[in-house]
Structure 1
C-alpha cells in the first residue's frame, strides 16, 4: 500500500477544495485500495472575491509553499482559479514557477499544479475547444476568466455569473442548483460544460447527472485539478462517477 501526500494551497475561506478533492480520491481508493491519499493544507488569507484581495492572496503563495515544503508532499496543488486568471493570460505558468522555486529552496521536489492550468489541461484532454462555463463570480471577474480561456485557444460560447462576492457564501451554494442553472446557458455549440469554474463552488454531486442529461462532457475546476494530481502521481486519472474526464 502506498500513501500519496498531497499539499494544497487554499484561500483561507475556501471550504470546498478540502471537501471535493478528498471525496473524489476516497472514491478512487475504494476501487484501488493499494493507493491512499493524505492531504496537507496551507492557507492564504482571502475573504471576498475582489481584485484587491485576490492580488494580496497571490502574494502569500510562496510563504504557503514554504510551509508545505516541510511536509515533503508528493505533489502540490494551488487553488483559487480566478486569483490566477484575473492576473492576465498565461499567469498560471508564472504562479506555478514561483511556488516551485519556493519548494525547491526548501529541498522539496514536488511537482506543482494550479487549478487554472489544470482546467486548461482538462479541456485539452477531452479534445474539445468550445465550452460553456458557470462561475460564482461577479460579471467582470467572469469576463476575466473568459478572456483567459480564449487567450489559451478555448472558445467560451456562453457563460453564467451567479454574482456571489463573499467566498464563504460561495461554499454554501447548493450544488443541486447547478442542474437548474445549466438550463440558462446556450449549449448548442458547446463541446463541454464547465459546471463550476471555481474550486470553491460545490459541484461534484451534479457533475455526472448533468453530463448524463446533456450528453457532452461535464467537468469542473475541482475535477480537472484531481485529474492533474493523479497524472503527476503517475496514477491512472480515474475516479468513478465524476464525469468523462475522470472516467475509468
Structure 2
C-alpha cells in the first residue's frame, strides 16, 4: 500500500482494535515496536458469540464501523486484537472477509497465533491463559482444528463469574503467570503459548525461552508479528519478544 509518511510513522503505521477493558496490548506493543513503526488504537465492544450466524454478523458489522474509524489515518494494516473473539474456523476467514469488506489488510489474533506456530514448526504445545474452563476448551478445539495439539492447558479462571471479571486479567502479577507456566508446561511441547491480548507476559518471554528451550509466543507478539509482515519495514530491528519477533 502506498501511503504518505508522517513524522513518527516513517516505517509502519498499524491500526489496532482492542476490547474495551484491554490495557495491556498497547503497553506491550509500545515496548516492542521498532523505531519508525507506530500503532494507533480504537476500542470495540467485546463479542462473546462468534458461533451463531447472528453473532458473527454482529461482530463483522462492528468491525466494519471500527475499521472505518481507523481508515482515515491510512494504516498499512489493521489488527483485531482479541484472541477469544477471533477464534473462528478456519482461522483466516475473518481477516480475509474483513479485508475484502474494508479495503485494508486486516489480521486477527487467533489467525496470527496459528500462523506463528506454523512458522515456528510447533504442532504440539503447552498453553497458559487467564480464562475459565469453557474458554480454554474452546481454544483447544480451535487449535486442534488447525492441526495444533495442546498437550497441556491451564487458566486462572477469570471470567467464570461473568464479564465484570475481565479487568482482572490485566492486573495479573507477572510472577503469577510465571508460576502458572511452571505448573503447566510439559516436556515434548514444541512451543509455549501465552494467550489473551490483555494478559501481561512480555517481560517473561525471553527468559522463559531460555529456561524451557522452546519458542514462547503470546497473543500480542503473534499479532504484532503478523502485522509487521504487512508493512514496508517488516520485522527487522526488534530486540525483545522472543524468537518469533527476533527472527532467531
Q: For 2:220, which of 195, 201, 222 is the aligned residue?
A: 222
- Aligned counterpart, 1:10: 18
Q: Please report how far the alpha carbon of residue 138 of structure 1 lies from its aligned counterpart in structure 2 after TM superposition.
A: 1.0
* 3-state SS in 2 of match to 1:189: coil
Q: Show the counterpart of 1:67.
A: 69
1:198 corresponds to: 196
SS at match of 2:157: coil
Gapped runs of 5+ residues in structure 2? 1-6, 160-164
User: What SS does the aligned partner of 2:180 have?
Assistant: helix
Structure 1: how far apart are the matches of 2:65 and 2:152? 37
Which runs of structure 2 are paired with 1:31-180 in the superposition (5 Å)? 36-46=36-46, 51=49, 55=55, 59-85=61-87, 88-90=88-90, 92-104=91-103, 110-165=104-159, 166-180=165-179
Decide whether the 8 Å contact of 2:11 with 2:231 is kept in 1. Answer: no
RMSD: 2.1
Residue aligning to 1:32: none
- Contact persistence 1:66–1:102 (CA under 8 A): no
Structure-2 change in CA distance of 1:38 and 1:236 (3 Å): closer
- Distance in 1 (CA, whole Å) between partners of 2:178 and 2:65 is 38
Secondary structure of 1:113's aligned partner: strand
Once residues 233 and 204 of structure 1 are traced to their aligned partners in structure 2, the CA distance between those partners, rounded to angstroms, is: 22
Please report how far the alpha carbon of residue 99 of structure 1 lies from its aligned counterpart in structure 2 after TM superposition: 2.3
Distance 1:7 1:186, change over 3 A: closer
> Which residue in 1 is equivalent to 2:3?
none
Aligned mates of 2:130, 2:48 — CA distance in 1:
12
- Output the TM-score relative to the length of structure 2: 0.84
Are the aligned partners of 1:10 and 1:80 in contact in 2 as well (CA < 8 Å)?
Answer: yes
| Structure 1: gaps of 5 or more residues | 30-35, 105-109
Relative to 1, partners in 2 of residues 1:210 and 1:82: Cα closer, same or farther, differing over 3 Å? same
Structure 1 partner of 2:4: none
- What SS does structure 2 have at the residue aligned with 1:73? coil
Query: When the two structures are superposed, what TM-score results if normalisation uses the length of structure 1?
Result: 0.84
Compared with structure 1, are the counterparts of its residues 100 and 236 closer, same or farther at alpha carbon in structure 2 (3 Å cutoff)? Answer: closer
Q: Is the 8 A contact 1:16 1:200 kept in 2?
A: yes
- Find runs of 4+ consecutive structure 1 residues off by over 6 angstroms: none
